[in-house]
Amino acid sequence: MLQTAYPTPRITTPFPELYKRVERHIPPFEWSILAADIAAILKLKEERNAVVLAHNYQTPDIFHTVGDIVGDSLALAREAARTDADVIVLAGVHFMAETAKLLNPAKTVLIPDLEAGCSLAASITAADIQLLRQRHPGVPIVTYVNTSAAVKAESDVCCTSSNAKKIVEALGVPRVIMLPDEYLARNTAALTKVEIIAWKGHCEVHERFTPEDIRSLRESHPGITVLAHPECPPEVIAECDFTGSTAAMADYVGKERPARVVILTECSMSDNVALQYPDLEFVRPCSLCPHMKRITLPKIRHSLETMTHEVTVDPAIAERARRAVERMLALG
């Protein structure tokens, strides 16, 4: 009988250093498929002198591999203002790309999916702000960065979840309007003497969490540390152990090293942080942001290949909106 001996194929892992960062989350077979897009993106970034800014809610295959700058909204805005790349790809949602464009009018800013919106940004228009000004003459308007450039243009200053209290107090007035997130406004009001007039916008991801969720988590996972984003309702914040922006919550985990922890926010955040701290136990009740999830590796690749979708802001709006963002960066 004829027997043929085939050499055992040598299986090599593409980008072994990158794979090490995500191997607890992505099985080898899936990685071998993702690797083609990652290779193309790394090459295109070099050819186009591009950077990828990735928000903490991006999936680990993006966040831990092709993201050059990762972080919360404030960090992405700050880094967008500093980068010397010619092209910025925003792996996040549209308002983040617009903010990057405001701070870099001469650069090309791309978003891999134009439909990546935000329920907060959709909850208010520039006309709403004009009405609020008429109703509350002389009261400064502090606008969350989760808004369109047109809304920012009508505002006095922007804020993010990591500097809201600081910005509100830096204005040195007894009363401000803070919009559009009602819960961020109420959670900030609980920390300051400044009176805050809120709007009725909500984040579709964070409004779902309830105090009952926290109680049942504490019952089923004794000793658990509960972190919650300030876009959650105040009743949730009242029962958590720590609240802060996505970056502040990641820092808290790094510093405090809670043996068992839950982060009440978007799903990928826990996935990304858990990969950095394999010794900690992460409990992961999930609330997905459908807008953030529109961004994928193939879409980032396509975006760099075709230089789409370019984010532009009407110059008349951009100038006033930039002032509000720059004022925040200066104050915060």
Residue 202 as a binder of ligand SF4 (CB under 6 A): the answer is no
- 9: which DSSP letter? P
Name which of residues 152 to 181 contact ligand 13P (CB under 6 A): 160-161
* Amino acid identity, position 140: P
In one-letter notation, the amino acid at residue 230 is P
**Site for ligand SF4, residues 141 to 170, rule: CB under 6 A:** 146
Whether the CB-CB separation of 154 and 129 falls below 8 Å is answered with: yes
Smallest distance from the beta carbon of 59 to ligand 13P, in angstroms? 15
- At 226 the three-state DSSP class reads strand
Per-residue string for binding with ligand SF4, 67-106, x by CB under 6 A? --------------------------x-------------
**Pick from 58, 59, 65, 73: which binds ligand 13P (CB under 6 A)?**
73
DSSP strands (E only) in 40-150: 50-55, 69-71, 87-91, 108-110, 141-144
* x-or-dash string of contact with ligand SF4, 219-238, rule CB under 6 A: ------------x-------
245 lies in the site for ligand 13P, by CB under 6 A: yes
Which residues between 274 and 313 bind ligand 13P (CB under 6 A)? Answer: none
Stretch that binds ligand SF4, among 16-24, 130-138, 203-211, 322-330 (CB under 6 A): 203-211
Judged by CB under 6 A, does residue 318 bind ligand SF4? Answer: no
The one of ligand 13P, ligand SF4, none whose footprint includes residue 152, by CB under 5 to 8 A per kind, is: none
The closest alpha carbon to 313, from 26, 97, 38, 138, belongs to: 97
- Residues that bind ligand SF4 (rule: CB under 6 A) add up to a total of 13
Q: Does 56 bind ligand 13P (CB under 6 A)?
A: yes
Residue position matching structure tokens 């609240």: 243
Only segment of 29-37, 40-48, 114-122, 182-190 that touches ligand SF4 (CB under 6 A): 114-122
Residue numbers 34-73 binding ligand SF4 by CB under 6 A: none
Residue 58 contact, options ligand SF4, ligand 13P, none, Cβ 5-8 Å cut-off depending on partner type: none
Interaction between residue 203 and ligand SF4 (CB under 6 A): yes
Q: What is the DSSP letter of 10?
A: P
Pair of tokens at residue 36: 């083609």
Q: How many residues does the chain have?
A: 332
Q: Which of 204, 213, 207, 205 is nearest to 287 (CA)?
A: 205
Span between the terminal Cα atoms of the chain, in Å: 79
Three-point CA angle 42, 47, 51, nearest 5°: 55
Distances (CA, A) of 8 to 5, 27, 29, 30: 9, 21, 18, 21
**Which residues ranging from 244 to 263 are in contact with ligand SF4 (CB under 6 A)?**
none
Task: Determine contact, residues 188/152, Cβ cutoff 8 Å.
Answer: no
Q: Of the two residues 203 and 263, which places its CB atom closer to ligand 13P in the complex?
A: 203
* Smaller CB separation from ligand SF4, 34 or 185: 185
Give the H or E element holding residue 261: strand 260-264
**CA–CA dist 159, 143 (Å, integer):** 6
Give the residues lining the site for ligand SF4 (CB under 6 A). 93, 118-120, 146, 203-205, 231, 266, 289, 291-292
Q: Which residues bind ligand 13P (CB under 6 A)?
A: 56, 72-74, 146, 160-161, 203, 229, 231, 245-246
